[in-house]
Chains A and B, each alone.
Chain A
Amino acid sequence: EVQLVESGGGLVQPGGSLRLSCAASGFTFRSYEMTWVRQAPGKGLEWVSYISSSGSHIYYADSVKGRFTISRDNANNSLYLQMNSLSAEDTAVYYCARVHSQELWVFDNWGQGTLVTVSS
């Protein structure tokens, strides 16, 4: 069974930093592209970032470009999101998701999410 478990969320002050982690199991992590999607309280889904299976290709939404860094550790089946210069607009539940093996930009399995709250 595919499992994705996010951690690292919490309360952070504006301008602060946070690092999210996503532990993957139940599939060959190194073979899959991965992504982060967030959802502000009471709002819709917003794509954040993507990383290829090897980590050689990385993309970001314009809203986080230059502030967030996605990375992965295939040896430890883990995905990360380093978030810097956080503002209230970054408050959201952050989901890691697996990209479908044959369909680009299809997110076929999601974690339960971790809440990031940016507030003073």
Chain B
Amino acid sequence: QSVLTQPPSVSGAPGQKVTISCIGSSSNIGEGYDVHWYQQFPGTAPKLLIYANSNRPSGVPDRFSGSKSGTSASLAITGLQAEDEADYYCQSYDTRLSGSVVFGGGTKLTVL
């Protein structure tokens, strides 16, 4: 069971908007640690999609946006495209025990 909780799957039709949640706790997101998002296609390495809650690396379309509030964060994808079908992971830092980078369990996005 992951420290950060994501829905196992979400889906949407082309052109629609989908949101992926990432629920943490007072020892990670709620403690003030930033949330980052990665996109991973089958058989390939993860790619940084959003960092520090809402920042996009160069080259990432502005259809992708992130937000954070309290002990949770969200990734929103607008104007859904077939090529957005992938796994998405949130990541933060957790202060429990000796401290550690933590990932969500991942969310499979299906474009209908």
Footprint of B on A, CB under 8 Å? 35, 37, 44-47, 50, 59, 61-62, 95, 100, 103, 105-113
A selection of 20 A-B contacts at a CB cut-off of 8 Å is A35-B101, A44-B104, A44-B105, A45-B46, A45-B103, A46-B103, A59-B98, A59-B100, A95-B46, A100-B51, A105-B92, A105-B101, A106-B48, A106-B51, A107-B38, A107-B46, A109-B48, A110-B45, A110-B47, A113-B45
9 further A-B contacts with Cβ under 8 Å, apart from A59-B99, A103-B36, are A46-B103, A47-B102, A62-B97, A105-B36, A106-B48, A106-B51, A107-B36, A109-B48, A112-B44
Residues from chain B with Cβ under 8 Å of A110 in the complex: 45-47
Assess the B38–A112 pair: CB atoms within 8 A.
Answer: no
A112, B97: Cα distance in complex, Å? 31
Cross-chain contact A103 with B34 (CB below 8 angstroms): yes
